[in-house]
Structure 1
Amino acid sequence: MDKSKIVRAQGYRWQGVPLREYKTEGSHFHAITRQSLLGEGEDEQAVNFLTRYFELQPGGYSTLEHHQHPHTVVVLRGSGEVILGDRVETIDRHDCIYIAPGTFHQFHASGGEPLGFLCIVDRHRDRPALPSQEELEQLRRDDRIRRRLRI
């Protein structure tokens, strides 16, 4: 039986896909939600990756974290900034971002509208890690990172 499907979108929301909190514990993120679009469904276990949509409200930000798996991000909506290793980069609609293993990253919605992006990760991956005090001190040495850093 063919288990292929289409998940229809309307206004940056996908039908039949629950809108969830980004994470449920901690205060190192703000005003962010996610929808798991493909790869988590009962009939999608053969997919080796997950496709998720994250949306940050203006002023929102994701967790500053790193992990050993790579992942990709495609901006669909809005603009913002990303801390990517030892730099801060401006991001805009249709930009594609590769996050290499072990790279600290944090997304910020700095424009007047939500920042929405697809994030594609391996199905089997390690858990994100927060920075140690020493790593935070090192990141804070850069003025531009220190001004954007939220933890």
Structure 2
Amino acid sequence: MSDMSEVREALRGQPEPYRWEGVDELVYKEHDTTFRGVTRRVLFGAGDGQGVEVRYFEVAPGGWSTLEHHEHTHQVIVMRGSGAALVQDRVIPLAQHDLVFVPAWAWHQFRATGDEPLGFQCIVPLDRDRPVLPDADQFATLSADPEVAAFIRR
């Protein structure tokens, strides 16, 4: 960057925690009702030239993301709150600063378990496939494990 004005344009400050200047809060998923209390913000995307999208999600206390899988991977960094995640066939606890890798085609779902939102950054490829929801047989297979059955929501 050649001058200070370009540096200022590159900065997306935080007027309040977990809110960035020029970054809109978006609907988690349009035309989908398989989640509760989730918002998303795109921190870096196609216009930033890296081939990835860096998103910030917040799951409200008691909320959950969609139970899904797909070909692309996720790299998740927990920034606030506490919760748990299903990754493939394991339920793992989540706390601030934890790192979670979601492999390709792994079933996954995130839930907030504390009194504050579970906030996390999620890094995915720009060119990615659409999520696939479990059919009745896949849901039954996942639910065969009592810990997983107690965790997942639809």
Bin the TM-score by the shorter chain.
over 0.9
Q: List aligned pairs for 1:2-151, cutoff 5 A.
A: 5-9=10-14, 10-41=16-47, 44=48, 46-151=49-154
Runs of 4+ aligned structure 1 residues displaced above 6 Å come to 1-4
Partner-residue secondary structure (3-state), 1:135? helix
- Separation (CA, whole Å) in 2 of partners of 1:78 and 1:150: 20
- Separation (CA, whole Å) in 2 of partners of 1:69 and 1:47: 16
The root-mean-square deviation of aligned C-alpha atoms, in Å, is 1.4
Partner-residue secondary structure (3-state), 1:83? strand
Deviations 1:124-144 (A, max 9, x none): 011111012111000110111
TM-score scaled by length of structure 1: 0.93
Question: Aligned-pair distance for 1:26?
Answer: 2.3
Matched residue count: 148
TM-score scaled by length of structure 2: 0.91
* Structure 2: unaligned runs, 5 residues or longer: none
* Structure 1: unaligned runs, 5 residues or longer: none
In proportion to residue count, which structure has more helix? 2
- Separation (CA, whole Å) in 2 of partners of 1:51 and 1:26: 22
Partner-residue secondary structure (3-state), 1:138? helix
Question: Aligned-pair distance for 1:106?
Answer: 0.1
Identity level (%): 42
| CA contact 2:46–2:52 (8 Å) conserved in 1 | no
- Separation (CA, whole Å) in 1 of partners of 2:125 and 2:97: 21
Deviations 1:62-89 (A, max 9, x none): 0000010111000000000001111101
